[in-house]
């Protein structure tokens, strides 16, 4: 692939997603870097919502990028490239989850289970500080919130991450997960209820900072994807 001599002056930054995909098909490392940078945060949050482990999520995102950029000819543009990437990373993450716990299945997540929807859950938030802002500080509050999301039952966690953390619309979430709008609303209602009104009230402005994937970490992903793609070409 063709390398851009100075990633900080990447000429592809002003291009549209479709134009970037076209250049990536032509072998442009610069286009790949921009596409990776633009999608890192979203894909990491989604993978993290499924796997509940930073290292596993990062590995799933990297594997999804390599799969996508080595099979660009199969992308037909029927949906946005970012949507296509999202489906690939979800498949990768669920594949890893099945290998960890063979009983977990993507179809089960999509359909949900009747007893989970109808039953009541014990509140996973056992730690309830009176004033999180003053007692824990910004970083600790973020960790507290991330732990609370991790504790959500499986049918609800990814729906919550997509809808409230990633701020997708209900219809977008329904289309992405292949479930109906009513199911999205039901799962979201249950998730919000489990997170407790006090938690939402105290740190409702902190969602944009959770599961961060930026800075050197973001740049490192692009470097690893480029190396992996180059290795495949040499092989």
Determine the pLDDT at residue 200: 52
> Same structural domain for residues 144 and 119?
yes
> Do 20 and 86 share a domain, yes or no?
yes
Instruction: Verify that 166 and 228 share a domain, yes or no.
Output: no
| Angle, alpha carbons 87-28-227 (nearest 5°) | 75
Q: What is the mean pLDDT of the chain?
A: 78
More confident residue, 147 or 139: 147
Quick check: 190 pLDDT over 80? yes
What does the pLDDT read at residue 114? 37
Same domain membership, residue 201 and residue 121: yes
Number of domains in the chain: 2
pLDDT tens by residue, 115-126: 333 333 333 333
96, two tokens: 């890893």
17 domain-assigned: yes
State whether 65 and 110 are in the same domain.
no
1 in a domain, yes or no? Answer: no
What are the structure tokens assigned to 108, written together? 């089960």
The reply to whether 23 falls in a domain is yes
Domain presence at residue 2: no
Same domain, 93 and 152: no
Q: What is the CATH number of the domain that holds 167?
A: 1.10.10.10
85 and 169 both lie in a single domain: no
Mean pLDDT of 206-235: 79
**Do 139 and 175 reside in the same domain of the chain?**
yes
Domain annotation covers residue 168: yes
Mean pLDDT check: name the lowest of 10-19, 46-55, 76-85, 172-181. 10-19
> Per residue in 43-75, pLDDT tens?
999 999 999 899 999 999 999 999 999 999 999
Residues 114, 205: one domain? Answer: yes
Q: Are residues 75 and 130 in the same domain?
A: no
- Shared domain for 223 and 201, answered yes or no, is no
Region 142-165: mean pLDDT is: 86
pLDDT top residue among 53 and 141: 53
Pair (67, 149) in one structural domain: no
pTM here is 0.66
Any idea which of 11-15, 68-72, 202-206 has the lowest mean pLDDT?
202-206
Domain limits for position 224: 7-102+213-234
Question: Does 169 map to a domain?
Answer: yes
Residue 220 lies in a domain: yes
């Amino acid at each position: 692939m063709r390398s851009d001599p100075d990633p900080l002056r990447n000429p592809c930054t002003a291009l549209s997603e479709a134009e970037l995909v076209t250049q990536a098909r032509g072998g442009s490392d610069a286009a790949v870097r921009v596409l990776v940078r633009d999608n890192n945060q979203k894909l990491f949050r989604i993978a993290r919502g499924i796997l509940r482990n930073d290292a596993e999520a990062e590995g799933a995102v990297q594997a999804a990028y390599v799969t996508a950029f080595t099979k660009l000819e199969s992308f037909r543009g029927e949906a946005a490239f970012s949507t296509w990437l999202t489906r690939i990373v979800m498949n990768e993450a669920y594949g890893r989850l099945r290998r960890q716990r063979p009983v977990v299945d993507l179809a089960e997540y999509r359909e949900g289970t009747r007893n989970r929807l109808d039953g009541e859950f014990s509140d996973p938030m056992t730690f309830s500080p009176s004033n999180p802002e003053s007692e824990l500080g910004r970083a600790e509050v973020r960790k507290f919130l991330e732990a609370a999301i991790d504790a959500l039952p499986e049918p609800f966690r990814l729906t919550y991450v997509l809808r409230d953390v990633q701020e997708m619309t209900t219809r977008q979430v329904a289309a992405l997960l292949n479930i109906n709008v009513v199911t999205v609303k039901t799962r979201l209602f249950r998730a919000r209820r489990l997170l407790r009104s006090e938690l939402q009230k105290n740190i409702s402005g902190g969602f944009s900072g959770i599961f961060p994937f930026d800075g050197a970490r973001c740049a490192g992903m692009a470097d690893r994807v480029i190396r992996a793609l180059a290795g495949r070409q040499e092989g």
